[in-house]
Structure 1
Amino acid sequence: MDDKKIKVSIRNLVEFVLRGGDLDSKFVGSSRALEGTRAHQKLQKKYKQENNIERQYNAEVSLKYNIEYKGFSFIIEGRADGVIVEKEKIIIDEIKTVNKPLELIDENYNILHMAQAKCYAYIYAVQNDLKDIYVQLTYYSISADESKYFIKNFNMEELKLFFLDLLDKYFWWANFMDQWIDKRNISIKNMNFPFDKYRPGQREVAVAVYNTIKQESKIFVQAPTGVGKTISTLFPAIKAMEQGLVSKIFYLTAKTITANVAQECMTNMNNKGLKIKTLVITAKEKVCFKDKPSCNPEDCEFAKGHYDRLNNALNEILSKETLISREVIIEYAKRNKLCPFEFSLEIALWVDCIICDYNYAFNPQVYLKSFFENGKEDYVFLIDEAHNLADRGREMFSAELYKKPFLKLKKVMTKKEPQIAKALTSINSYMIKLRKICEEENRNIYVQKEEIKDIYNLLRRFTKESEEWLAKNNKLEGYDELLQLYFDVLSYTRISEFYDNKFTTYVEKLGDDIKIKIFCLDPSYLLSEVVKRGKASIFFSATLSPISYFKEVLGGNEQDYTMRIPSPFPKKNMKLILANRISTKYKNREGSYNLLSKYIHELVCGRKGNYLIFFPSYAYMRNVYDIFCQEYSDINAVIQENSMSEELKKTFLDRFKNYSETMVAFAVLGGMFSEGIDLKGDKLIGVGIVGVGLPQLCFERDIIMNYFNDKNNMGYEYSYMYPGMNKVLQAAGRVIRTEEDRGVVMLMDERFSNRNYRELFPKHWDANTIARNVKEVENIIKNFWENK
């Protein structure tokens, strides 16, 4: 909002003020919008062909109306489907496509349709000085290829009253937000940095972030643990908001735990006088009140009448709350009987800062269309733990299909819907051909740089045949399976639209099944296109090293800024030990179990307290853990289990609250406990890292390697070494969290002595302490703890 100017489309104005009824996500079909567009064009073409001296049909007439109302300048825009000039009679035509039989449609079928048409009619009448005007609702049945018409005459006075009533109801929200923005900006102007002083490096980061926003650019910031990256990025972004440089802040995270840190940061600033509305968006599955999300009125009482209650609930929550967390959303959603996830998406339109997962900005399947469909806006993206974004980007821009679901569903559909069964048979047969290619080449995986285009038509035929059945046969046998396969296929065909030289396609034989995958090798271009939707982007992490690598794979260019901040903590507070006389390479692992157990024992015996030991795999971890427990049964040892629930994860972390005795926790490198967790002070005094963190050798990593070898001759580094070392740096960063923390990090692998790895060590690491045997570990650690 600028100088009380409000720009709103006629459709959004009508839908926001008059919406009501149920939340209903029953299957509609991806082609519905396309079919609707084609139906509009078909009718409009037909009408235009019928033009004569007495009747002229003008299609897609743009309308724009500026009106001063109660101190605001409203700019109302829209496009009428048709304007019919018939002698001295003007008719506004509003076309709607329906799947229902036309006999079930009357003029009150949907009040929003008539309301939208009346707004077009009013604006057209004002601009053409008409005393009265006609409105025609045209309902077109796609399946029957027939139309039904409702025409009504309105005089100018009743249209004006209707329009101004809409504007009056919308004005309340506009005025509310205007008053809120005044309060917000005054609080921002009066807000000082929320701590007594800046930590070393914090001020530099904050200034760089502000300047990046001002210059509408990108910056890549590597700032070690302890600098305080969250406040150093949020604070200048908020200051830029008061200056009118930013309309909304998106704080994007890879994990819930980092979102919690951002939430705490906003809470702290609000407690110190800041007034800024912040929303935390949580995935639907985590906030849904039902065991299984089913957003339709037959299955969910929160969906029934959702829109009848929505605006009152919005009014309540926006009037009373500033930090709108998951818990707050659930509280208000229950009280107002609303779907909590859909409620949060509505709230997002009215808040200043949104904390959410990368998916809601970057994923082409689920991104927030209400914000990102209209090109560049005054948004700033604060991308936390940005080292995670490259692999997440590959996942978002890749898609795969398996043969078995097609075959299984074909058997179900043969009697129910032969046309769908026929489409499934074609796809199944084609995938058998792909399996034969693998067999002919005597290998399980077949890869080609080009798209496998022949399958696209088969997939589109399947989606087309499935849509009508899915729309009409909810709850029948095979419905859920067909719906899931439909969305899998739709995802695959949508991702295919991005295909270029940064993609490859491969076919993998998996026993009696076949997988076909569009695999994104390099997400850099697509990520760069996403951030163009905003004004500025801040990529930051403790481990953007080497920064040139991350700048390239995250879509940066030569003009983008980079920044490296040194550690704010004294080097003497952390002892780095290189146990470089042990090999943890896959072929040598079995012979390393006993020696690793001894190294770990010496690490944790130096001082009572809590320790984390990270391993490259669950199997490796379990083998060493069993030996350690057998040999050193007097030491309390715990182990990370595979697929831990939030409750088990909390129980695991709660063990670190007690540090009067020694506890050693075995965990997986790159897992939930190797980044994001904050165990300050004596909660954690030592970390052991087994191996150099290389991703598991696999076909996908190898083709990424080949791609970058061709591109810059850095394939092994980009595919294996840099991602692996990033995990090591993240795990090591768990130890020193504040200026008072002291602790030990022991790297256990001979490869850490190699120059290529040592060049990736942070500057604040003193890597000169090498332990050639277990006894030397004991002596080094003893000296460290005795000499403070």
Structure 2
Amino acid sequence: MIDMENIIKVSVRNLIEFVLRSGDIDNSFMSMNRALEGTFAHQKVQKSYGYEYQSEVYLKYSIDYDRYRILLEGRADGILTQGGETIIDEIKSTTRNLEDIEEDYNPLHWAQAKCYGFIYATQNNLDEIGIQLTYFHIETEEIKKFNRIFSTNELKDFLYDVIDKYIKWANLTFDWGEIRDKSIKTLDFPFSKYRKGQRELAVAAYKTIREGKNIFAQAPTGIGKTMSTLFPSIKSIGEGISSKIFYLTAKTITREVPLNSMEIMMSKGLRAKVLVITAKEKICLNHEVKCNPRDCAYAKGHYDRVNDAIMDILKNEDLISREVIISYAKKYNVCPFEFSLDISLWCDVVICDYNYVFDPQVYLRRFFEAEGQDYVFLIDEAHNLVDRSREMFSASLSKADILQLKDIFKEEYIQIYKSMNKLNTIFNKLKKDKDIKDNFYQVEEISDLYYPVTKLIAQMEPFLIEKKDHPDYDKILEFYFNLITFIKISDFYDEHYVTSIENNGRDMVLKLYCADPSYLLNLALKRGRTAIFFSATLTPLEYHRDLLGGNKEDYHIRLSSPFPRENLCLMVNDHISTKYKDREKTYINIVESIETFINSKVGNYFIFFPSYIYMKNIYETLVERNPDKNIVIQNPSMTEVEREEFLSRFKDENDLIAFAVMGGIFSEGIDLAGEKLIGAAIVGVGMPQICFERDIIKDYFNHNNKNGFDYAYVFPGMNKVLQAAGRVIRTEEDRGVILLIDDRYGTYRYKELFPNEWSHHKRVSVKYNMINTLKEFWK
């Protein structure tokens, strides 16, 4: 008897492509219009027949196999009935020379058609059926056909042989589901007690998932947000409410926290498959990322070996980190990145960058082609998603790129040369018509660009196919992909966008700039069941809800710090201006304030600044005055290894004064509990540098009845301050000091953004006030 829970719905194409796949990864250039070309090929072939030809015939079939009911479905390109004979037609578009395509050119093409043939023959009581492969050449429109006749019994044997190979994967899925769900049912919260507010957040998260809604949760650093959101999400999987958790982060460094949280639950009996997806560039085993069989041994024959690698890793590993993926990738000689994407299909928790859910260029289509899936999105440090999503949904074109590349095509590819000149002419005309001296923007899209860009894309494709050995190939390919991105983003263009032009004399850059990403984020959120946005800094709530795709029906929760207020000494020096115009004349005041701060007690301190240049100037002065102190500074272009070494100094040393930039890699997502960090001085209000794009945001929200200056400058800056301050108190035992330096902290605008746990702050505008305050705290 079939358990109704053991129903597998799979398309014929996906079944065949997974079970029978073989060969190489080859991400060499392919036309961006491949899908359109395929549609054109299908329509051209289908229209060449008469009434005897049925196009795009939907087929479905149910097979009871072992303990499963397998629901197969698919769409045959064509079914031809003539002279009492029935033929299943499978149409494939190609750019290869038809003379090079033999009957067995691609076994998967026959396999897919044979499955359709079995379904149709069985449902229509046919003893045999014809299978036809039709290859359509995109450029010449020539056609080449191959025909075979199969008995229905032959096709049945073939399909059941495919299912035989597939069934071990079904067993793996369902057997694992039973093991996982059983462990979830007996799983208790992994700590002996909840921290203050932690249970409240966990309950709110669970309620939100059950109801299929979204929630914005502001919880101070140290409350245990990660466990408070992961634990109820895991419970929802065990109850069949959700099927997969995507834990989304902005930075690689913050992925350790959810991984450690899962490890803790697994040490208490949870069984779950947990995967960390690492960017292709960071996990590639070669010096250069070139995903083709000529340049990469891991790409060559990847699909011959990858299914064995997947089975092995899933049978033997639950916590699948970057290191584990690399180990198995080397063992089976497969591409670690593509391997990790395949593994994700069987994993319960996927820890990855925001991009894999939200970015229209790289989101995981294998999961998100349809809306309304039962996924849970846990969006960590959600305040970062505002600016990241603006980047994802924007695109630009550079006049300098056009001028640099166009002469390459002057001799042999004159049409490309002319089209690039056309784009250059449009830039020049815009500059003249709009009288653009430096920066300019308008709400309307510049429609004159769309057709010339799409025409250039099409013209560049033959070059990219034929000239792979050209010395400037990589540069040209990058430009081509940039054009594609521009066209894709232009399809999103609406009232949430502006068109900006920056002209600095050396270059003129036209940008489709997404000032308000809320609408596109909202569309992306519909790919899942629930989104839980959480951060220590979602202040003000309305600002974050407005920009992150939320609405008034979403839940929200704001929690107080779980730690004793007396463990934090918060001081405000609102007697020093850090505004750009005042910086040079206040350098010494800031240095003296920092000296008083760090001299009160030997220990490890962070000193945070709004910019590298400002930081470097203060750093040099402090070092010159204090040559015996252990002072280090963040390098703007640190590698991951250098970042780890920088952080490790907090564990190994006890007198470190570390200068870092607010909003950077060391101001959030790192955990330095106890004596590893006893204080942080924060110079400035974190405000982004006044610039053209920030002014666009300001104007946009002023126009939409918001306080544009706050949306563009004040709120993003204060988020950086709160994040930096949150590095100090991480556990109930921690004691630490924070010093805020800026005269704006004394104003109502900033004081109203202070969290409740800062209400006991002390003004230390005079040196002896700070000395006495610190002496009293540290005694």
TM (normalized to structure 2)?
0.99
Letter in 2 for 1:539: F
Report deviation, 1:478: 2.8
- Runs of 4+ residues deviating >3 angstroms: none
Q: Do the aligned partners of 1:578 and 1:767 also contact (CA within 8 Å) in 2? A: no
Residue of structure 2 equivalent to 1:250? 246
Residue of structure 1 equivalent to 2:503? 509
1:647 to 622, 638, 641: 641
Report deviation, 1:756: 1.3
Report deviation, 1:767: 4.2
2:730 to 729, 733, 737: 737
1:428 maps onto 2:424 in alignment? yes
Report deviation, 1:59: 0.4
Taking the aligned partners of 1:219 and 1:76, their CA distance within structure 2 comes to: 37
Letter in 2 for 1:474: K
1:612 counterpart SS class: strand
Q: How does 1:558-597 map to 2 (within 5 A)?
A: 558-597=552-591
Moved more, 529-538 or 647-656: 647-656
2:650 to 642, 656, 660: 656
Residue of structure 1 equivalent to 2:745? 752
Taking the aligned partners of 2:475 and 2:750, their CA distance within structure 1 comes to: 48
Residue of structure 2 equivalent to 1:30? 32
Residue of structure 1 equivalent to 2:516? 522
Taking the aligned partners of 2:738 and 2:131, their CA distance within structure 1 comes to: 75
Residue of structure 2 equivalent to 1:20? 22
Taking the aligned partners of 1:216 and 1:582, their CA distance within structure 2 comes to: 49
Q: Do the aligned partners of 1:15 and 1:112 also contact (CA within 8 Å) in 2? A: yes
Unaligned runs of 5+ in 2: none
Moved more, 245-254 or 37-46: 37-46
Q: Do the aligned partners of 2:569 and 2:761 also contact (CA within 8 Å) in 1? A: no
Moved more, 559-568 or 626-635: 626-635
1:453 maps onto 2:453 in alignment? no
2:8 to 6, 9, 19: 6
Residue of structure 2 equivalent to 1:42? 44
Taking the aligned partners of 1:58 and 1:731, their CA distance within structure 2 comes to: 65
Report deviation, 1:663: 2.2
2:778 to 767, 773, 785: 785
Q: How does 1:528-539 map to 2 (within 5 A)?
A: 528-539=522-533
Q: Do the aligned partners of 1:669 and 1:727 also contact (CA within 8 Å) in 2? A: yes
Taking the aligned partners of 1:365 and 1:142, their CA distance within structure 2 comes to: 25
How big is each residue's C-alpha offset from its partner over 1:554-601, in whole Å with a ceiling of 9 and x where there is no partner? 111111000011100010000110111111111000011101111001
1:770 maps onto 2:770 in alignment? no
1:690 maps onto 2:692 in alignment? no
Report deviation, 1:630: 1.4
2:110 to 91, 114, 119: 114
Identity over aligned residues, as a percent? 53
1:160 maps onto 2:156 in alignment? yes
Taking the aligned partners of 1:135 and 1:713, their CA distance within structure 2 comes to: 63
Letter in 2 for 1:688: A
TM (normalized to structure 1)?
0.97
Taking the aligned partners of 2:762 and 2:117, their CA distance within structure 1 comes to: 81
Taking the aligned partners of 2:607 and 2:648, their CA distance within structure 1 comes to: 17
Taking the aligned partners of 1:481 and 1:608, their CA distance within structure 2 comes to: 52
CA spacing shift, 1:168–1:410, aligned 2, 3 Å: same
Q: Do the aligned partners of 1:413 and 1:478 also contact (CA within 8 Å) in 2? A: no
1:598 counterpart SS class: helix
Q: Do the aligned partners of 1:399 and 1:492 also contact (CA within 8 Å) in 2? A: yes
Letter in 2 for 1:407: L
Taking the aligned partners of 2:241 and 2:757, their CA distance within structure 1 comes to: 36
Residue of structure 1 equivalent to 2:719? 726
Report deviation, 1:2: 6.6
1:493 maps onto 2:487 in alignment? yes
Q: How does 1:313-462 map to 2 (within 5 A)?
A: 313-437=309-433, 440-441=435-436, 443-462=437-456
CA spacing shift, 1:2–1:200, aligned 2, 3 Å: farther
2:477 to 477, 480, 483: 483
Q: How does 1:18-417 map to 2 (within 5 A)?
A: 18-47=20-49, 50-51=50-51, 56-417=52-413
Taking the aligned partners of 2:624 and 2:57, their CA distance within structure 1 comes to: 80
Taking the aligned partners of 1:383 and 1:427, their CA distance within structure 2 comes to: 40
Moved more, 420-429 or 227-236: 420-429
Taking the aligned partners of 2:147 and 2:192, their CA distance within structure 1 comes to: 69
Q: How does 1:551-630 map to 2 (within 5 A)?
A: 551-630=545-624
Q: Do the aligned partners of 1:576 and 1:766 also contact (CA within 8 Å) in 2? A: no
How big is each residue's C-alpha offset from its partner over 1:475-499, in whole Å with a ceiling of 9 and x where there is no partner? 2233212111000010011000110
1:65 counterpart SS class: strand
Report deviation, 1:768: 4.2
CA spacing shift, 1:711–1:686, aligned 2, 3 Å: same
Taking the aligned partners of 1:636 and 1:408, their CA distance within structure 2 comes to: 47
How big is each residue's C-alpha offset from its partner over 1:683-711, in whole Å with a ceiling of 9 and x where there is no partner? 11111001111111001111101111111
1:674 maps onto 2:674 in alignment? no
Q: Do the aligned partners of 2:662 and 2:720 also contact (CA within 8 Å) in 1? A: yes
Taking the aligned partners of 1:371 and 1:421, their CA distance within structure 2 comes to: 40
Q: Do the aligned partners of 2:93 and 2:137 also contact (CA within 8 Å) in 1? A: yes
Letter in 1 for 2:212: E
Taking the aligned partners of 2:582 and 2:374, their CA distance within structure 1 comes to: 54
Residue of structure 2 equivalent to 1:710? 703
Letter in 1 for 2:219: A
Taking the aligned partners of 2:175 and 2:353, their CA distance within structure 1 comes to: 30
Report deviation, 1:432: 2.1
Residue of structure 1 equivalent to 2:628? 634
Report deviation, 1:437: 4.1
Report deviation, 1:421: 1.4
Q: Do the aligned partners of 1:254 and 1:357 also contact (CA within 8 Å) in 2? A: yes
1:192 counterpart SS class: coil
Report deviation, 1:721: 0.6
Moved more, 267-276 or 121-130: 267-276
2:737 counterpart SS class: strand
Taking the aligned partners of 2:313 and 2:649, their CA distance within structure 1 comes to: 37
Q: Do the aligned partners of 1:67 and 1:75 also contact (CA within 8 Å) in 2? A: yes
Taking the aligned partners of 1:2 and 1:738, their CA distance within structure 2 comes to: 48
CA spacing shift, 1:767–1:2, aligned 2, 3 Å: farther
Q: Do the aligned partners of 2:395 and 2:512 also contact (CA within 8 Å) in 1? A: yes
Taking the aligned partners of 2:502 and 2:409, their CA distance within structure 1 comes to: 26
Q: Do the aligned partners of 2:220 and 2:561 also contact (CA within 8 Å) in 1? A: yes
Q: Do the aligned partners of 2:136 and 2:142 also contact (CA within 8 Å) in 1? A: yes
1:415 counterpart SS class: coil
Report deviation, 1:87: 2.8
How big is each residue's C-alpha offset from its partner over 1:155-185, in whole Å with a ceiling of 9 and x where there is no partner? 1111110011111111110011110100000
Taking the aligned partners of 2:208 and 2:416, their CA distance within structure 1 comes to: 53
Letter in 1 for 2:37: E
How big is each residue's C-alpha offset from its partner over 1:133-165, in whole Å with a ceiling of 9 and x where there is no partner? 111111111111111111111111111100111
Taking the aligned partners of 2:377 and 2:383, their CA distance within structure 1 comes to: 15
Unaligned runs of 5+ in 1: none
Taking the aligned partners of 1:623 and 1:350, their CA distance within structure 2 comes to: 51
1:350 counterpart SS class: coil
1:589 counterpart SS class: helix
2:627 counterpart SS class: coil
Report deviation, 1:416: 3.0
